[in-house]
Amino acid sequence: MKFNILVVDDELNIRVGLGKSLEMDGYSIFLAEDGNEALKVMLKVEIDLVISDLRMPGLSGEELLKKISNSYPTVPVIILTGHGTVENAVNAMRDGAYDFMTKPVNLDRLTLLVKRALSSRELVLQHRALKEEVEKLEKKRNYSNIIGKSAQMQKIFELLVQVAPSKASVLITGESGVGKELVADALHQLSTRGDQPFVKVHCAALSESLLESELFGHEKGSFTGAVGLKKGRFELADRGTIFLDEIGEINQSVQIKILRVLQEKAFERVGGEKTVQTDVRIVAATNRDLKKEIEDGNFREDLFYRLNVVNIHIPPLRERKEDIQLLAASFLNEFAEENNKSIEGIDPKAAMALYNYSWPGNVRELRNCLESAVVLCKKHIISIDDLPPALTEEPEGNYIKITMGISLAEAEKIIIRNTLNQEKGNKSKTADILGIGRKTLHRKIHDYGLEDEFLR
Ligand SMILES: Nc1ncnc2c1ncn2[C@@H]1O[C@H](COP(=O)(O)OP(=O)(O)OP(=O)(O)O)[C@@H](O)[C@H]1O
Ligand SMILES: [Mg+2]
Protein backbone atom coordinates (compact mmCIF):
# COMPACT_ATOMS: atom_id res chain seq x y z
CA MET A 1 0.00 0.00 0.00
CA LYS A 2 1.40 3.41 -0.92
CA PHE A 3 0.26 6.01 1.58
CA ASN A 4 -0.28 9.73 1.00
CA ILE A 5 1.17 12.01 3.68
CA LEU A 6 0.39 15.69 3.95
CA VAL A 7 3.01 17.92 5.62
CA VAL A 8 1.72 21.30 6.81
CA ASP A 9 4.17 23.97 8.00
CA ASP A 10 4.58 27.64 7.23
CA GLU A 11 8.36 27.28 7.22
CA LEU A 12 9.42 26.21 3.77
CA ASN A 13 12.61 24.50 4.99
CA ILE A 14 10.86 22.28 7.47
CA ARG A 15 8.08 21.38 5.06
CA VAL A 16 10.44 20.42 2.29
CA GLY A 17 12.94 18.74 4.61
CA LEU A 18 10.38 16.49 6.26
CA GLY A 19 8.79 15.81 2.89
CA LYS A 20 12.09 14.67 1.37
CA SER A 21 12.88 12.43 4.29
CA LEU A 22 9.47 10.74 4.21
CA GLU A 23 9.62 10.40 0.46
CA MET A 24 12.77 8.35 0.92
CA ASP A 25 10.78 6.05 3.21
CA GLY A 26 8.52 5.33 0.25
CA TYR A 27 5.52 7.60 0.91
CA SER A 28 3.82 10.03 -1.48
CA ILE A 29 4.19 13.51 -0.07
CA PHE A 30 1.93 16.55 -0.34
CA LEU A 31 2.88 19.94 1.09
CA ALA A 32 0.79 22.85 2.40
CA GLU A 33 1.82 26.10 4.08
CA ASP A 34 -1.22 26.54 6.30
CA GLY A 35 -4.45 24.93 7.42
CA ASN A 36 -6.60 26.27 4.61
CA GLU A 37 -4.27 25.04 1.95
CA ALA A 38 -4.11 21.67 3.72
CA LEU A 39 -7.89 21.30 3.60
CA LYS A 40 -7.85 22.11 -0.10
CA VAL A 41 -5.36 19.32 -0.70
CA MET A 42 -7.47 16.90 1.32
CA LEU A 43 -10.48 17.60 -0.87
CA LYS A 44 -8.53 16.59 -3.95
CA VAL A 45 -6.40 13.72 -2.69
CA GLU A 46 -7.18 10.91 -0.27
CA ILE A 47 -4.65 11.71 2.48
CA ASP A 48 -3.75 8.92 4.93
CA LEU A 49 -1.78 10.92 7.48
CA VAL A 50 -1.28 14.60 8.30
CA ILE A 51 1.80 16.07 9.97
CA SER A 52 1.09 19.63 11.00
CA ASP A 53 2.75 22.53 12.74
CA LEU A 54 0.64 24.26 15.40
CA ARG A 55 1.40 27.93 14.88
CA MET A 56 0.76 29.07 11.34
CA PRO A 57 -0.75 32.20 9.83
CA GLY A 58 -4.24 31.69 8.40
CA LEU A 59 -5.85 28.53 9.72
CA SER A 60 -3.79 27.32 12.71
CA GLY A 61 -2.81 23.74 13.49
CA GLU A 62 -5.38 23.54 16.29
CA GLU A 63 -8.18 24.58 13.98
CA LEU A 64 -7.00 22.28 11.23
CA LEU A 65 -6.95 19.38 13.71
CA LYS A 66 -10.56 20.06 14.71
CA LYS A 67 -11.69 20.16 11.10
CA ILE A 68 -9.90 16.92 10.29
CA SER A 69 -11.33 15.18 13.38
CA ASN A 70 -14.79 16.14 12.18
CA SER A 71 -14.55 15.49 8.49
CA TYR A 72 -11.88 12.78 8.33
CA PRO A 73 -12.09 11.07 11.73
CA THR A 74 -9.94 8.11 10.70
CA VAL A 75 -7.02 10.16 9.37
CA PRO A 76 -4.31 10.39 12.07
CA VAL A 77 -2.70 13.79 12.72
CA ILE A 78 0.80 14.19 14.14
CA ILE A 79 1.43 17.62 15.64
CA LEU A 80 4.78 19.43 15.45
CA THR A 81 5.55 21.96 18.13
CA GLY A 82 8.37 24.37 18.87
CA HIS A 83 10.12 24.57 22.21
CA GLY A 84 8.01 25.91 25.04
CA THR A 85 4.66 25.04 23.53
CA VAL A 86 4.39 21.49 24.79
CA GLU A 87 1.28 22.52 26.69
CA ASN A 88 -0.42 23.32 23.39
CA ALA A 89 0.59 19.93 22.11
CA VAL A 90 -1.01 18.26 25.10
CA ASN A 91 -4.23 20.14 24.36
CA ALA A 92 -3.98 18.97 20.79
CA MET A 93 -3.76 15.37 21.99
CA ARG A 94 -6.98 15.95 23.84
CA ASP A 95 -8.55 17.22 20.64
CA GLY A 96 -7.70 13.97 18.92
CA ALA A 97 -4.14 14.32 17.63
CA TYR A 98 -2.45 10.96 17.17
CA ASP A 99 0.80 12.13 18.79
CA PHE A 100 3.14 15.10 18.84
CA MET A 101 6.83 15.79 18.23
CA THR A 102 8.95 18.71 19.32
CA LYS A 103 11.12 20.62 16.89
CA PRO A 104 13.81 20.10 15.80
CA VAL A 105 12.34 16.89 14.51
CA ASN A 106 14.25 13.69 15.09
CA LEU A 107 13.84 11.99 11.73
CA ASP A 108 14.29 8.45 13.05
CA ARG A 109 11.58 8.97 15.61
CA LEU A 110 9.36 10.52 12.96
CA THR A 111 9.78 7.45 10.74
CA LEU A 112 8.68 5.19 13.59
CA LEU A 113 5.76 7.36 14.57
CA VAL A 114 4.52 7.58 10.99
CA LYS A 115 4.74 3.82 10.61
CA ARG A 116 2.75 3.28 13.78
CA ALA A 117 0.11 5.84 12.89
CA LEU A 118 -0.34 4.32 9.45
CA SER A 119 -0.80 0.80 10.79
CA SER A 120 -4.23 1.73 12.16
CA ARG A 121 -4.95 3.56 8.94
CA GLU A 122 -4.16 0.34 7.15
CA LEU A 123 -6.92 -1.40 9.13
CA VAL A 124 -9.37 1.20 7.92
CA LEU A 125 -8.40 0.57 4.34
CA GLN A 126 -8.54 -3.20 4.84
CA HIS A 127 -12.03 -2.88 6.25
CA ARG A 128 -13.04 -0.80 3.26
CA ALA A 129 -11.83 -3.52 0.94
CA LEU A 130 -13.94 -6.04 2.87
CA LYS A 131 -16.91 -3.72 2.65
CA GLU A 132 -16.51 -3.59 -1.10
CA GLU A 133 -16.28 -7.37 -1.20
CA VAL A 134 -19.55 -7.62 0.73
CA GLU A 135 -21.21 -5.18 -1.65
CA LYS A 136 -19.95 -7.04 -4.68
CA LEU A 137 -21.25 -10.32 -3.27
CA GLU A 138 -24.59 -8.71 -2.61
CA LYS A 139 -24.82 -7.39 -6.16
CA LYS A 140 -23.92 -10.72 -7.64
CA ARG A 141 -26.68 -12.41 -5.70
CA ASN A 142 -29.33 -9.73 -5.81
CA TYR A 143 -31.85 -12.22 -4.46
CA SER A 144 -30.67 -12.49 -0.91
CA ASN A 145 -28.58 -11.03 1.83
CA ILE A 146 -26.86 -14.25 2.74
CA ILE A 147 -23.17 -13.61 3.17
CA GLY A 148 -20.50 -16.24 2.90
CA LYS A 149 -17.46 -17.11 0.88
CA SER A 150 -16.63 -20.48 2.41
CA ALA A 151 -16.83 -23.49 0.14
CA GLN A 152 -19.77 -24.77 2.21
CA MET A 153 -21.77 -21.57 1.68
CA GLN A 154 -20.89 -21.48 -2.03
CA LYS A 155 -22.36 -24.97 -2.31
CA ILE A 156 -25.50 -23.79 -0.57
CA PHE A 157 -25.84 -20.88 -2.99
CA GLU A 158 -25.58 -23.29 -5.91
CA LEU A 159 -28.12 -25.62 -4.39
CA LEU A 160 -30.48 -22.70 -3.74
CA VAL A 161 -30.44 -21.57 -7.34
CA GLN A 162 -30.96 -25.13 -8.50
CA VAL A 163 -33.78 -26.06 -6.14
CA ALA A 164 -35.70 -22.82 -5.75
CA PRO A 165 -37.61 -22.88 -9.05
CA SER A 166 -38.96 -26.40 -8.45
CA LYS A 167 -41.87 -27.20 -6.19
CA ALA A 168 -39.90 -29.78 -4.25
CA SER A 169 -40.22 -29.65 -0.47
CA VAL A 170 -37.05 -28.52 1.22
CA LEU A 171 -35.89 -29.34 4.72
CA ILE A 172 -33.32 -26.89 6.08
CA THR A 173 -31.23 -28.25 8.92
CA GLY A 174 -28.56 -26.76 11.13
CA GLU A 175 -27.86 -25.49 14.63
CA SER A 176 -29.62 -22.48 16.04
CA GLY A 177 -28.53 -19.19 14.47
CA VAL A 178 -26.85 -20.58 11.35
CA GLY A 179 -29.24 -18.78 8.99
CA LYS A 180 -32.02 -21.28 8.28
CA GLU A 181 -34.67 -18.60 8.05
CA LEU A 182 -32.54 -16.53 5.67
CA VAL A 183 -32.18 -19.53 3.38
CA ALA A 184 -35.94 -20.14 3.52
CA ASP A 185 -36.49 -16.51 2.52
CA ALA A 186 -34.10 -16.87 -0.38
CA LEU A 187 -35.79 -20.09 -1.53
CA HIS A 188 -39.07 -18.25 -1.79
CA GLN A 189 -37.64 -15.13 -3.41
CA LEU A 190 -35.79 -17.16 -6.01
CA SER A 191 -38.75 -19.36 -6.86
CA THR A 192 -41.40 -18.71 -9.48
CA ARG A 193 -43.67 -17.98 -6.49
CA GLY A 194 -41.63 -14.98 -5.40
CA ASP A 195 -44.48 -12.53 -5.91
CA GLN A 196 -46.98 -14.76 -4.09
CA PRO A 197 -47.38 -14.96 -0.30
CA PHE A 198 -44.58 -16.23 1.91
CA VAL A 199 -46.15 -17.40 5.14
CA LYS A 200 -44.04 -18.24 8.17
CA VAL A 201 -45.19 -20.41 11.04
CA HIS A 202 -43.10 -20.68 14.15
CA CYS A 203 -44.31 -24.11 15.23
CA ALA A 204 -42.67 -24.16 18.65
CA ALA A 205 -44.30 -20.91 19.74
CA LEU A 206 -47.88 -22.23 19.60
CA SER A 207 -49.68 -24.70 21.81
CA GLU A 208 -50.94 -27.90 20.15
CA SER A 209 -54.53 -26.83 19.63
CA LEU A 210 -53.63 -23.31 18.61
CA LEU A 211 -51.11 -24.60 16.09
CA GLU A 212 -53.74 -26.75 14.43
CA SER A 213 -56.21 -23.92 13.98
CA GLU A 214 -53.39 -21.57 13.02
CA LEU A 215 -52.27 -23.89 10.25
CA PHE A 216 -55.60 -25.10 8.97
CA GLY A 217 -58.03 -22.42 10.11
CA HIS A 218 -61.36 -23.06 11.78
CA GLU A 219 -65.06 -22.83 11.07
CA LYS A 220 -67.33 -20.49 12.92
CA GLY A 221 -68.28 -21.89 16.33
CA SER A 222 -65.89 -24.83 16.15
CA PHE A 223 -64.72 -24.08 19.68
CA THR A 224 -65.37 -21.49 22.33
CA GLY A 225 -63.90 -18.27 21.06
CA ALA A 226 -64.11 -19.25 17.40
CA VAL A 227 -66.44 -16.40 16.56
CA GLY A 228 -66.02 -16.38 12.83
CA LEU A 229 -64.49 -18.43 10.10
CA LYS A 230 -60.76 -18.14 10.13
CA LYS A 231 -58.48 -19.03 7.26
CA GLY A 232 -55.41 -21.00 8.24
CA ARG A 233 -51.85 -20.38 7.12
CA PHE A 234 -52.00 -23.14 4.52
CA GLU A 235 -54.91 -21.35 2.89
CA LEU A 236 -53.23 -17.96 3.15
CA ALA A 237 -50.12 -19.38 1.52
CA ASP A 238 -52.07 -20.63 -1.51
CA ARG A 239 -49.87 -20.35 -4.66
CA GLY A 240 -46.99 -19.22 -2.46
CA THR A 241 -44.65 -20.81 0.06
CA ILE A 242 -45.25 -21.85 3.65
CA PHE A 243 -42.27 -21.94 5.98
CA LEU A 244 -42.70 -24.34 8.89
CA ASP A 245 -40.01 -23.31 11.34
CA GLU A 246 -39.00 -25.76 14.09
CA ILE A 247 -40.93 -28.57 12.49
CA GLY A 248 -39.40 -31.00 14.99
CA GLU A 249 -41.69 -29.59 17.68
CA ILE A 250 -45.08 -30.52 16.23
CA ASN A 251 -47.24 -33.29 17.61
CA GLN A 252 -48.46 -36.44 15.89
CA SER A 253 -51.95 -35.26 14.97
CA VAL A 254 -50.64 -32.13 13.23
CA GLN A 255 -47.98 -34.27 11.57
CA ILE A 256 -50.69 -36.43 9.99
CA LYS A 257 -52.57 -33.39 8.73
CA ILE A 258 -49.45 -31.91 7.17
CA LEU A 259 -48.66 -35.23 5.57
CA ARG A 260 -52.09 -35.17 3.97
CA VAL A 261 -51.51 -31.67 2.57
CA LEU A 262 -48.30 -32.94 1.03
CA GLN A 263 -49.95 -35.99 -0.44
CA GLU A 264 -53.33 -34.68 -1.49
CA LYS A 265 -52.90 -30.89 -1.45
CA ALA A 266 -56.06 -30.78 0.64
CA PHE A 267 -57.23 -30.42 4.25
CA GLU A 268 -60.27 -29.51 6.35
CA ARG A 269 -60.55 -26.54 8.68
CA VAL A 270 -60.86 -27.32 12.37
CA GLY A 271 -64.53 -28.15 13.05
CA GLY A 272 -65.30 -28.26 9.33
CA GLU A 273 -66.34 -30.91 6.81
CA LYS A 274 -65.52 -29.14 3.58
CA THR A 275 -62.27 -30.05 1.91
CA VAL A 276 -60.09 -27.06 1.05
CA GLN A 277 -57.65 -27.31 -1.84
CA THR A 278 -54.35 -25.56 -1.64
CA ASP A 279 -51.25 -25.22 -3.77
CA VAL A 280 -48.32 -24.49 -1.51
CA ARG A 281 -44.65 -25.14 -1.56
CA ILE A 282 -43.47 -26.39 1.81
CA VAL A 283 -40.15 -25.37 3.29
CA ALA A 284 -39.43 -26.64 6.79
CA ALA A 285 -36.57 -26.09 9.20
CA THR A 286 -35.30 -27.73 12.34
CA ASN A 287 -32.28 -27.73 14.60
CA ARG A 288 -33.17 -31.20 15.87
CA ASP A 289 -31.89 -34.46 14.54
CA LEU A 290 -35.11 -35.71 12.95
CA LYS A 291 -33.66 -39.16 12.27
CA LYS A 292 -33.24 -39.57 15.99
CA GLU A 293 -36.73 -38.19 16.64
CA ILE A 294 -38.03 -40.88 14.26
CA GLU A 295 -36.15 -43.58 16.16
CA ASP A 296 -37.57 -42.29 19.42
CA GLY A 297 -41.05 -42.39 17.95
CA ASN A 298 -41.61 -38.62 18.07
CA PHE A 299 -41.63 -37.90 14.36
CA ARG A 300 -43.33 -39.75 11.51
CA GLU A 301 -40.93 -41.29 9.08
CA ASP A 302 -43.33 -40.87 6.11
CA LEU A 303 -43.64 -37.15 6.83
CA PHE A 304 -39.88 -36.83 7.11
CA TYR A 305 -39.34 -38.29 3.64
CA ARG A 306 -41.99 -36.01 2.15
CA LEU A 307 -40.45 -32.92 3.73
CA ASN A 308 -36.88 -33.91 3.07
CA VAL A 309 -37.08 -34.21 -0.72
CA VAL A 310 -34.16 -31.80 -0.78
CA ASN A 311 -32.05 -31.21 2.29
CA ILE A 312 -30.08 -28.02 2.75
CA HIS A 313 -27.75 -28.40 5.69
CA ILE A 314 -26.08 -25.25 6.96
CA PRO A 315 -22.90 -26.06 8.87
CA PRO A 316 -22.14 -24.26 12.14
CA LEU A 317 -19.99 -21.13 11.92
CA ARG A 318 -17.03 -22.80 13.66
CA GLU A 319 -16.78 -25.16 10.68
CA ARG A 320 -16.59 -22.31 8.16
CA LYS A 321 -14.39 -19.78 9.84
CA GLU A 322 -13.57 -18.14 6.49
CA ASP A 323 -17.00 -16.49 6.70
CA ILE A 324 -16.38 -14.78 10.03
CA GLN A 325 -14.39 -11.79 8.76
CA LEU A 326 -16.83 -10.99 5.99
CA LEU A 327 -19.90 -11.38 8.21
CA ALA A 328 -18.28 -9.24 10.90
CA ALA A 329 -17.49 -6.48 8.41
CA SER A 330 -21.03 -6.52 7.13
CA PHE A 331 -22.61 -6.41 10.60
CA LEU A 332 -20.16 -3.69 11.63
CA ASN A 333 -21.33 -1.48 8.76
CA GLU A 334 -24.95 -2.20 9.44
CA PHE A 335 -24.76 -1.24 13.12
CA ALA A 336 -22.37 1.67 12.63
CA GLU A 337 -24.90 3.16 10.25
CA GLU A 338 -27.82 2.40 12.55
CA ASN A 339 -26.06 4.06 15.48
CA ASN A 340 -24.61 6.93 13.48
CA LYS A 341 -21.06 6.02 14.39
CA SER A 342 -18.04 6.24 12.18
CA ILE A 343 -16.34 2.96 12.96
CA GLU A 344 -14.14 1.78 10.18
CA GLY A 345 -12.41 -1.38 11.19
CA ILE A 346 -11.49 -4.10 13.63
CA ASP A 347 -8.01 -4.23 15.10
CA PRO A 348 -5.92 -7.39 14.66
CA LYS A 349 -6.31 -8.62 18.27
CA ALA A 350 -10.09 -8.27 18.15
CA ALA A 351 -10.23 -9.87 14.71
CA MET A 352 -8.18 -12.77 16.05
CA ALA A 353 -10.56 -13.20 18.99
CA LEU A 354 -13.54 -13.26 16.62
CA TYR A 355 -11.77 -15.86 14.53
CA ASN A 356 -10.76 -18.09 17.41
CA TYR A 357 -14.05 -18.13 19.29
CA SER A 358 -16.26 -21.18 18.74
CA TRP A 359 -19.58 -19.29 18.28
CA PRO A 360 -22.01 -21.74 19.90
CA GLY A 361 -24.82 -19.33 18.93
CA ASN A 362 -23.48 -19.16 15.36
CA VAL A 363 -24.15 -16.16 13.10
CA ARG A 364 -26.83 -14.78 15.41
CA GLU A 365 -24.29 -14.59 18.23
CA LEU A 366 -21.71 -12.95 15.96
CA ARG A 367 -24.29 -10.40 14.88
CA ASN A 368 -25.23 -9.57 18.49
CA CYS A 369 -21.57 -9.38 19.41
CA LEU A 370 -20.90 -6.77 16.72
CA GLU A 371 -23.94 -4.78 17.66
CA SER A 372 -22.74 -4.44 21.25
CA ALA A 373 -19.15 -3.81 20.12
CA VAL A 374 -20.31 -0.93 17.91
CA VAL A 375 -22.36 0.55 20.72
CA LEU A 376 -19.48 0.25 23.22
CA CYS A 377 -16.72 1.39 20.88
CA LYS A 378 -15.36 4.84 21.75
CA LYS A 379 -12.87 5.11 18.92
CA HIS A 380 -13.00 4.46 15.22
CA ILE A 381 -11.72 0.92 15.35
CA ILE A 382 -13.19 -1.98 17.30
CA SER A 383 -10.69 -3.26 19.85
CA ILE A 384 -10.61 -6.30 22.08
CA ASP A 385 -12.05 -4.24 24.96
CA ASP A 386 -15.27 -3.77 23.01
CA LEU A 387 -15.88 -7.52 22.77
CA PRO A 388 -17.73 -9.61 25.36
CA PRO A 389 -15.45 -11.29 27.92
CA ALA A 390 -16.42 -14.76 26.69
CA LEU A 391 -14.37 -14.11 23.56
CA THR A 392 -11.20 -13.24 25.37
CA GLU A 393 -11.31 -15.76 28.18
CA GLU A 394 -9.01 -18.67 27.79
CA PRO A 395 -10.76 -21.90 26.92
CA GLU A 396 -11.32 -24.34 29.74
CA GLY A 397 -8.45 -26.50 30.91
CA ASN A 398 -5.21 -25.98 32.76
CA TYR A 399 -2.70 -23.79 31.07
CA ILE A 400 0.89 -22.93 31.64
CA LYS A 401 2.02 -19.54 30.45
CA ILE A 402 5.37 -19.73 28.73
CA THR A 403 6.75 -16.40 27.62
CA MET A 404 8.49 -16.21 24.27
CA GLY A 405 12.23 -15.77 24.47
CA ILE A 406 13.10 -18.34 27.11
CA SER A 407 15.32 -21.35 26.54
CA LEU A 408 14.12 -24.90 26.01
CA ALA A 409 15.61 -25.88 29.36
CA GLU A 410 13.72 -23.14 31.17
CA ALA A 411 10.49 -24.20 29.45
CA GLU A 412 11.13 -27.80 30.43
CA LYS A 413 11.65 -26.78 34.04
CA ILE A 414 8.34 -24.90 34.06
CA ILE A 415 6.48 -27.83 32.55
CA ILE A 416 7.98 -30.34 35.00
CA ARG A 417 7.30 -28.17 38.03
CA ASN A 418 3.69 -27.51 37.00
CA THR A 419 2.94 -31.12 36.22
CA LEU A 420 4.43 -32.19 39.55
CA ASN A 421 2.29 -29.59 41.29
CA GLN A 422 -0.82 -30.75 39.48
CA GLU A 423 -0.08 -34.35 40.51
CA LYS A 424 0.67 -33.25 44.07
CA GLY A 425 4.27 -34.39 43.81
CA ASN A 426 3.47 -37.91 42.62
CA LYS A 427 6.52 -38.80 40.52
CA SER A 428 5.33 -41.89 38.72
CA LYS A 429 2.13 -40.17 37.56
CA THR A 430 4.13 -37.13 36.47
CA ALA A 431 6.60 -39.28 34.57
CA ASP A 432 3.69 -41.02 32.81
CA ILE A 433 2.08 -37.75 31.76
CA LEU A 434 5.37 -36.37 30.48
CA GLY A 435 6.16 -39.61 28.69
CA ILE A 436 9.53 -40.15 30.36
CA GLY A 437 10.87 -42.76 32.77
CA ARG A 438 10.99 -42.20 36.52
CA LYS A 439 14.78 -42.19 36.50
CA THR A 440 14.88 -39.47 33.87
CA LEU A 441 12.39 -37.44 35.86
CA HIS A 442 14.53 -37.71 38.99
CA ARG A 443 17.60 -36.61 37.08
CA LYS A 444 15.77 -33.61 35.64
CA ILE A 445 14.39 -32.63 39.05
CA HIS A 446 17.96 -32.66 40.24
CA ASP A 447 19.34 -30.79 37.21
CA TYR A 448 16.77 -28.06 37.44
CA GLY A 449 17.24 -27.60 41.19
CA LEU A 450 13.73 -28.71 42.05
CA GLU A 451 14.79 -31.15 44.80
CA ASP A 452 13.89 -28.79 47.58
CA GLU A 453 10.37 -28.63 46.34
CA PHE A 454 9.80 -32.22 45.33
CA LEU A 455 12.52 -34.58 46.62
CA ARG A 456 12.31 -34.58 50.33
N1 LIG B 1 -24.96 -16.10 6.02
C2 LIG B 1 -25.51 -15.06 6.65
N3 LIG B 1 -25.35 -13.80 6.19
C4 LIG B 1 -25.89 -12.74 6.83
N5 LIG B 1 -26.63 -12.83 7.94
C6 LIG B 1 -26.83 -14.06 8.45
C7 LIG B 1 -26.29 -15.23 7.83
N8 LIG B 1 -26.67 -16.30 8.56
C9 LIG B 1 -27.42 -15.83 9.58
N10 LIG B 1 -27.52 -14.49 9.53
C11 LIG B 1 -28.23 -13.64 10.51
O12 LIG B 1 -28.13 -14.28 11.76
C13 LIG B 1 -29.37 -14.25 12.46
C14 LIG B 1 -29.88 -15.65 12.71
O15 LIG B 1 -30.26 -16.25 11.48
P16 LIG B 1 -31.60 -17.12 11.34
O17 LIG B 1 -32.72 -16.53 12.14
O18 LIG B 1 -31.85 -17.35 9.88
O19 LIG B 1 -31.08 -18.45 12.05
P20 LIG B 1 -31.84 -19.82 12.28
O21 LIG B 1 -30.95 -20.88 11.74
O22 LIG B 1 -33.22 -19.73 11.74
O23 LIG B 1 -31.84 -19.92 13.86
P24 LIG B 1 -32.92 -20.67 14.84
O25 LIG B 1 -32.72 -22.14 14.67
O26 LIG B 1 -32.50 -20.22 16.20
O27 LIG B 1 -34.27 -20.19 14.44
C28 LIG B 1 -30.29 -13.41 11.62
O29 LIG B 1 -30.22 -12.05 12.06
C30 LIG B 1 -29.72 -13.54 10.23
O31 LIG B 1 -30.03 -12.41 9.45
MG1 LIG C 1 -35.05 -19.67 12.74
pLDDT, one tens digit per residue, over 203-244 is 988 888 889 889 999 888 777 776 778 899 999 999 999 999
Instruction: Tell me the H-state helices in 141-194.
Output: 151-163, 180-190
335 lies in the same domain as 418? no
Residue 177 Cα, ligand 1 centroid: separation in angstroms?
A: 5
- Number of structural domains (the chain) is 4
DSSP class of residue 3 equals P
93 lies in the same domain as 157? no
Residues 6+ apart with CB under 8 A from 125: 1, 48
What ligand 1 atom has the least distance to the C-alpha of 178? 21
Angle at 194 between CA 205 and CA 274, to 5 degrees: 60
364 lies in the same domain as 225? no
Domain boundary among the residues 313, 343, 374 is at 313
pLDDT (mean) for 388-396 = 76
pLDDT, one tens digit per residue, over 434-446 is 999 999 999 999 9
Residue 399 in domain: no
Res 331 pLDDT > 90: yes
What ligand 1 atom has the least distance to the C-alpha of 146? 3
354 lies in the same domain as 277? no
Note the pTM of the prediction, 2 decimals.
0.71
Higher pLDDT, 135 or 98: 98
48 lies in the same domain as 163? no
Residue 394 Cα, ligand 1 centroid: separation in angstroms?
A: 27
What ligand 1 atom has the least distance to the C-alpha of 175? 25
Res 137 pLDDT > 80: no
Domain coverage including residue 33: 4-122
Residue 385 in domain: yes
290 lies in the same domain as 347? no
Residue 192 in domain: yes
Residue 164 in domain: yes
Res 339 pLDDT > 70: yes
How far apart CA 257 and CA 282 sit, in angstroms, is 13
Which CA distances in Å does 328 have to 44, 72, 344, 365, 407?
31, 23, 12, 11, 39
Predicted local distance difference test score (pLDDT) of residue 404: 76
Q: What SS3 state is found at 276? A: strand
How far apart CA 105 and CA 316 sit, in angstroms, is 54
Counting residues of the chain whose pLDDT is more than 90, the rounded percentage is 62
Res 396 pLDDT > 80: no
Ligand closest in space to the Cα of 183: 1
228 lies in the same domain as 279? yes
What ligand 1 atom has the least distance to the C-alpha of 183? 18
Q: Tell which one of 152, 175, 181 to mutate to probe ligand 1, the residue whose CB is within 8 A of the most ligand atoms.
A: 181
Residues having CB within 6 Å of any atom of ligand 1: 145-148, 174, 176-182, 287, 327, 363-364, 367
pLDDT (mean) for 130-147 = 75
Considering the chain, what is the average pLDDT of its residues? 90
Predicted local distance difference test score (pLDDT) of residue 402: 76
* Range of 77-81, 157-161, 171-175 with top mean pLDDT: 171-175
Res 64 pLDDT > 80: yes
pLDDT, one tens digit per residue, over 416-427 is 998 998 888 899
Ligand closest in space to the Cα of 134: 1
pLDDT (mean) for 259-288 = 91
pLDDT (mean) for 258-273 = 89
pLDDT (mean) for 245-257 = 92
pLDDT (mean) for 35-63 = 93
pLDDT (mean) for 14-26 = 94
How far apart CA 400 and CA 436 sit, in angstroms, is 19
How far apart CA 57 and CA 40 sit, in angstroms, is 16
Predicted local distance difference test score (pLDDT) of residue 12: 94
Would you say the C-alpha torsion 97, 98, 102, 104 has a positive or negative sign?
Answer: negative
Residue 244 Cα, ligand 2 centroid: separation in angstroms?
A: 10
Predicted local distance difference test score (pLDDT) of residue 297: 93
Ligand closest in space to the Cα of 360: 1
> H or E segment at 279?
none
Residue 140 in domain: no
Say if residue 80 is exposed, middle or buried (CB neighbours under 10 Å; 0-12, 13-18, 19+).
Answer: buried
Return the half-sphere exposure (C-beta side, CA atoms, 13 A cut-off) of residue 381. 22
Predicted local distance difference test score (pLDDT) of residue 397: 59
pLDDT band for 144, please (50, 70, 90 cuts).
low
- List residues, by chain if needed, whose CB lies under 5 Å from ion ligand 2: 181
Q: CA dihedral defined by 210, 211, 215, 216, rounded to 10 degrees?
A: -50
Q: Tell which one of 153, 180, 182, 322 to mutate to probe ligand 1, the residue whose CB is within 8 A of the most ligand atoms.
A: 182
pLDDT band for 136, please (50, 70, 90 cuts).
confident
Residue 132 in domain: no
